[in-house]
Amino acid sequence: MESVRPASHSREGANMKHRIVTAAQMKEIERAGDAHGLPYLQMMENAGLAAYAELQKQFPYPGRLLVVCGKGNNGGDGFVIARAAAKDGWSVTVLLAEGEPKTTDAIRNFERLHSLPVHIFANCSIPETQHFDAAVDALYGTGFHGELRPSGLAACELIRRLHKGGAFVLAVDLPSGINTDTGEVAEGAAYADLTVTFDSYKPLHLAETSAPLCGKIVCADIGIRDEWHPEF
């Protein structure tokens, strides 16, 4: 495997810094947030904007951004990032690595891109000569397990190639191709300079096999109050 940049991996967060939950527990936390009046769509908005805020810290001026999106809610977070970046003057390209989104909230955020100057490609059809200053990995989220499908493998290969070429890579929740609960890394998985996870850390962020692939790890607040969290 190619070397990961940067070599160190650190964790940042406020109240979340000591909380580590599994993928199933995170779903329960999100359900609790929704039950307390924080809709899933708003959580997606908060997550995407939090991740974009971390990207902004790396770039004082807008540049060229590729957002690699899956068809689930991780991709929905990516669409929020793409929208925020386009409004800020970035030249944004969205890659639909596995086709158009399938979840309700992701579809809504994808539709919000249509009125913006965002270039949309499908099936890893990005020209190899195209340059990007940064890439967002919003392909697979906490539900990933097993091996990468051919489309996912191709998308991860693109992310790795851009990273090797000097692009800054931000992963949404986790680099694609890693099992959230075990830290098992699938063949061909992506890696990142910065991983922004939400509400709570997940086991993969601490596992010896997977933590180095995350780069710096930031845990962002998405509006789920501490008192809303179930006891595990």
Give the domain CATH number at 56.
Answer: 3.40.50.10260
Quote the mean pLDDT of the chain. Answer: 92
If one counts the domains in the chain, the total is 1
The answer to whether residue 3 scores a pLDDT higher than 80 is no
Residue 6 domain-assigned? Answer: no
Residue 102 domain-assigned? Answer: yes
Give the DSSP letter string of 154-191: HHHHHHHHHHHTT-EEEEESS-TTB-TTT--B-TT---
* pLDDT of the residue at 17: 53
> What is the share, in percent, of the chain residues with pLDDT greater than 70?
92
Q: Do residues 106 and 76 lie in contact, with contact meaning Cβ atoms separated by under 8 Å?
A: yes
Residue 71 domain-assigned? Answer: yes
Contacts of 6 (CB under 8 A, 6+ apart): 193, 215, 216
* pLDDT of the residue at 4: 37
Residue span of the structural domain in which 40 resides: 11-224
Residue 105 domain-assigned? Answer: yes
Residue 232 domain-assigned? Answer: no
Residue 2 domain-assigned? Answer: no
Contacts of 153 (CB under 8 A, 6+ apart): 188
pLDDT single digits (tens) 138-190: 999 999 999 999 999 999 999 999 999 999 999 999 999 999 999 999 999 99
Is the peptide bond prior to 6 cis by the omega test (within 30 degrees of 0)?
yes
Q: Pairing relation of β-strands 134-138 and 194-198?
A: unpaired
DSSP element (H, E) containing 81: helix 73-87
The answer to whether residue 6 scores a pLDDT higher than 60 is no
End-to-end alpha-carbon separation of the chain, Å? 36
Residue 201 domain-assigned? Answer: yes
Average pLDDT over residues 23-40: 98
* pLDDT of the residue at 12: 54
Q: How far is CA 26 from CA 104, 115, 177, 192, in A?
A: 19, 33, 18, 22
The answer to whether residue 232 scores a pLDDT higher than 50 is yes
pLDDT single digits (tens) 79-133: 999 999 999 999 999 999 999 999 999 999 999 999 999 999 987 777 777 899 9
Residue 171 domain-assigned? Answer: yes
Average pLDDT over residues 201-207: 97
